[in-house]
Amino acid sequence: MLYKHLKFNDLGDERGKLVVIEGNIDIPFTIQRAFYIYGSDAEVIRGKHANINSEFVLVNVAGSSKVMVTDGKEKEVIELSQPMEALYLPKMVWKEMYDFSKDSVLLVLASTHYDSQEYLRNYDQYCMLMKFFEEKKDD
């Protein structure tokens, strides 16, 4: 699975909108880390890595952005533009976030604390590793 679309309930009323995201209920993991990307523009590319141990949920809480995901074979581009819709990314998915609108705020929820050692930042090496895992699985 490259990714999964998630949809959260809008619990707002006449006072305004309200979206709740709970770990292990609305998303498939306990939230260990949250961060957000803002102040980027249409020319910036963020991410450009895969993670060995971390799962992620990406939500554009304001504005819009695009996310390219790949496993080295399949490649898809998903646009995030609704604060009640999200993208779940399992471990070992290469991700690149780009085409940020001026008002974009991309919230990222992660299943692990930050560990620089679990990042795969070289795309060619990532593809070789994924091919190796695929061959091992076929054995």
What backbone phi and psi angles, to 5 degrees, belong to 54? Answer: -95, 140
Determine the Cα–Cα distance for residues 32 and 86; give it in Å rounded to an integer: 17
**Cβ neighbours for 2, distance < 8 A, ≥ 6 positions apart:** 69, 70, 71, 74, 76, 89, 93
Which residues on adjacent β-strands are paired with residue 85? 7
- The yes-or-no answer on residue 49 being catalytic is yes
Determine the Cα–Cα distance for residues 119 and 95; give it in Å rounded to an integer: 11
Q: Among residues 32, 44, 46, 49, which one is catalytic?
A: 49
| Residues tagged active-site | 49
